[in-house]
């Protein structure tokens, strides 16, 4: 059965609405698993007797494992029913998360994060491929808007609840709770989602390696891969040190830190779908440019803030994340228009791999730029902010080139069809 909507479809069917909800849940589970490590670090380090350097290795291990996994699976990403592929990697992700919850040493936790990254890092690319297959281009901005609210939901629900469970029992409990919820979500997808296999009807290369090579060397995709590189670099430069900067430089207490996550998450839950609708209505590039302008202004203000009040920090964070979402949602929606149907899985897997590897490298570079004084204050954070500004401007130029390529390819295809 063909679940792909007709090109003129402008609204969601009942089945599509449920699918969007399930895909958003998967993103919520994967993002929450990744984000839980940082706030639980203060508990995990003394519990397992690991140093900050070792804990940093544990955190970055997920990103690097996810990056390697994306490259290894890209050649096979379009050779199976996308639903089966999704459930396979999701099962591995659940096993890795359960392993995290049962880890009792640095070595076991490190291996658990590697396994979780190997499987979890591919899920996002499969989700994007499914969304591209099931939704027409004029709906994808709204689809990405809803899916990206998973990030905000993880802040509003996941992180505060995870910290609460850790405080009530121990740091293992949040991961085990995520496993229970994740299994329920996986079963719903297994029994309700229809197969996503229309791409298998189109002839493909016999060799998985050839399929990967053809995707990598496709000139039309190169600019997209470079754009992803700089977009991810900007995002990961500030994130690892944001809480330390907020507490030690801005004078916000640890007790008030969850309030910032909570309010910012609530705001972005409402903003995400609106940004997606705006991208479909006014154009994805226009919304991306506006989001970039907001992000740049917010980054400059945030990284130069003196000791200030909780209200000011919340406002700046909310505006910053509105800018970030106003970039990510139209960017992802635009990326869905780049690959042909038979290369969507491999294209998204490579993009996800580049994003994860760039994020890991950006975090390492930021660690060399940013320094922490004896009093706990973070120094040179504004330099990392300038790097984000530069990478954001470059990403604008690259995405503009991507948009031109999409338009030219569509015109050539239309001419050939005529």
What are the tens digits of pLDDT across the range 128-166? 778 878 887 777 777 877 777 776 677 666 767 777 777
Mean pLDDT of the region 170-198: 87
> Per the structure, how many domains does the chain have?
1
Helices (H), 135-241: 137-153, 159-168, 172-192, 208-216, 219-238
2 part of a folded domain: no
Coil, helix or strand at residue 27:
helix
Mean pLDDT of the region 345-370: 77
On the question of pLDDT at 237 being above 60, the answer is: yes
Q: Are strands 371-372 and 378-379 parallel, antiparallel or unpaired?
A: antiparallel
What are the tens digits of pLDDT across the range 391-410? 999 989 998 988 888 888 77
Q: Of 331, 315, 390, 394, which is closest to residue 148 (Cα–Cα)?
A: 331
On the question of pLDDT at 93 being above 90, the answer is: yes
- DSSP state at residue 370: -
pLDDT number for residue 114: 92
On the question of pLDDT at 333 being above 60, the answer is: yes
417 part of a folded domain: no
Q: Is 90 exposed, middle or buried (0-12, 13-18, 19+ CB in 10 A)?
A: buried
On the question of pLDDT at 1 being above 80, the answer is: no
pLDDT number for residue 10: 57
Q: Give the residue numbers spanning the domain of 249.
A: 15-198+208-410
| pLDDT class of 53 with cuts at 50, 70, 90 | low
pLDDT number for residue 5: 42
214 part of a folded domain: yes
Check residues 287 and 132 and name the one with the higher pLDDT: 287
Q: Of 290, 292, 303, 323, which is closest to residue 382 (Cα–Cα)?
A: 303
φ, ψ at 207 (rounded to 5°): -100, 135
- DSSP state at residue 155: I
CA distance 80 to 199: 9
pLDDT number for residue 417: 67
What are the tens digits of pLDDT across the range 13-34? 778 888 888 888 888 888 888 7
203 part of a folded domain: no
Coil, helix or strand at residue 378:
strand
> How far is residue 189 from each of residues 20, 22, 91, 127, 409, measured CA to CA in Å?
11, 7, 12, 12, 35
Coil, helix or strand at residue 379:
strand
Percent of the chain scored above 70 by pLDDT?
Answer: 89
- Return the number of other C-beta atoms located less than 10 Å from residue 167's C-beta: 11
Q: 338 near 212, Cβ under 8 Å?
A: no
pLDDT number for residue 9: 47
| pLDDT class of 343 with cuts at 50, 70, 90 | confident
7 part of a folded domain: no
| pLDDT class of 384 with cuts at 50, 70, 90 | confident
pLDDT number for residue 290: 94
pLDDT number for residue 153: 72
When mean pLDDT is compared across 129-133, 182-186, 357-361, the lowest value belongs to 357-361
289 part of a folded domain: yes
90 part of a folded domain: yes
What are the tens digits of pLDDT across the range 303-312? 999 989 999 9
Average per-residue pLDDT for the chain: 81
What are the tens digits of pLDDT across the range 191-208? 888 888 777 676 665 666
| pLDDT class of 418 with cuts at 50, 70, 90 | low
| pLDDT class of 244 with cuts at 50, 70, 90 | confident
When mean pLDDT is compared across 7-11, 62-66, 210-214, 401-405, the lowest value belongs to 7-11
5 part of a folded domain: no
What are the tens digits of pLDDT across the range 61-79? 887 888 788 777 776 767 7
CATH at 153: 1.20.1250.20
């Amino acid at each position: 059965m063909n679940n792909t909507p007709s090109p003129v479809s402008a609204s969601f069917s009942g089945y599509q609405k449920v699918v969007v909800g399930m895909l958003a849940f998967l993103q919520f589970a994967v993002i929450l698993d990744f984000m839980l490590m940082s706030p639980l670090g203060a508990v995990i380090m003394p519990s397992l007797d690991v140093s900050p350097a070792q804990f940093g290795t544990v955190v970055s291990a997920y990103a690097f494992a996810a990056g390697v996994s994306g490259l290894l699976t890209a050649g096979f990403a379009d050779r199976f029913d996308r639903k089966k592929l999704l459930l396979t990697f999701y099962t591995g992700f659940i096993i890795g998360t359960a392993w995290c919850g049962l880890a009792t040493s640095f070595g076991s936790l490190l291996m658990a994060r590697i396994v979780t990254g190997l499987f979890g890092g591919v899920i996002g690319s499969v989700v994007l491929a499914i969304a591209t297959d099931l939704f027409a281009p004029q709906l994808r901005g709204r689809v990405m808007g809803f899916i990206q609210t998973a990030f905000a939901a993880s802040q509003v629900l996941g992180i505060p609840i995870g910290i609460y469970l850790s405080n009530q029992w121990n740091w293992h409990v949040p991961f085990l709770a995520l496993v229970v919820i994740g299994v329920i979500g996986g079963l719903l997808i297994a029994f309700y989602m229809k197969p996503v296999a229309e791409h298998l009807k189109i002839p493909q290369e016999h060799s998985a390696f050839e399929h990967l090579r053809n995707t990598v060397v496709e000139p039309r995709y190169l600019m997209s891969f470079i754009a992803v590189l700089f977009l991810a670099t900007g995002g990961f430069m500030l994130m690892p040190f944001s809480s330390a900067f907020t507490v030690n430089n801005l004078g916000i207490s640890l007790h008030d830190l969850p309030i910032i996550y909570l309010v910012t998450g609530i705001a972005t839950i409402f903003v995400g779908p609106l940004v997606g609708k705006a991208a479909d209505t006014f154009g994805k590039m226009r919304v991306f440019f506006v989001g970039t302008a907001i992000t740049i202004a917010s980054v400059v203000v945030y990284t130069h803030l003196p000791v200030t009040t909780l209200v000011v920090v919340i406002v700046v964070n909310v505006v910053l994340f509105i800018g970030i979402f106003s970039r990510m949602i139209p960017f992802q929606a635009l990326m869905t228009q780049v690959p042909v149907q038979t290369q969507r899985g491999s294209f998204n897997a490579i993009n996800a791999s580049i994003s994860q590897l760039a994020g890991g490298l950006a975090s390492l570079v930021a660690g060399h730029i940013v320094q922490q004084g004896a009093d706990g204050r973070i120094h040179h954070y504004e330099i990392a902010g300038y790097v984000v500004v530069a990478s954001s401007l470059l990403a604008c130029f690259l995405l503009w080139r991507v948009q031109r390529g999409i338009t030219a390819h569509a015109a050539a295809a239309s001419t050939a069809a005529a």
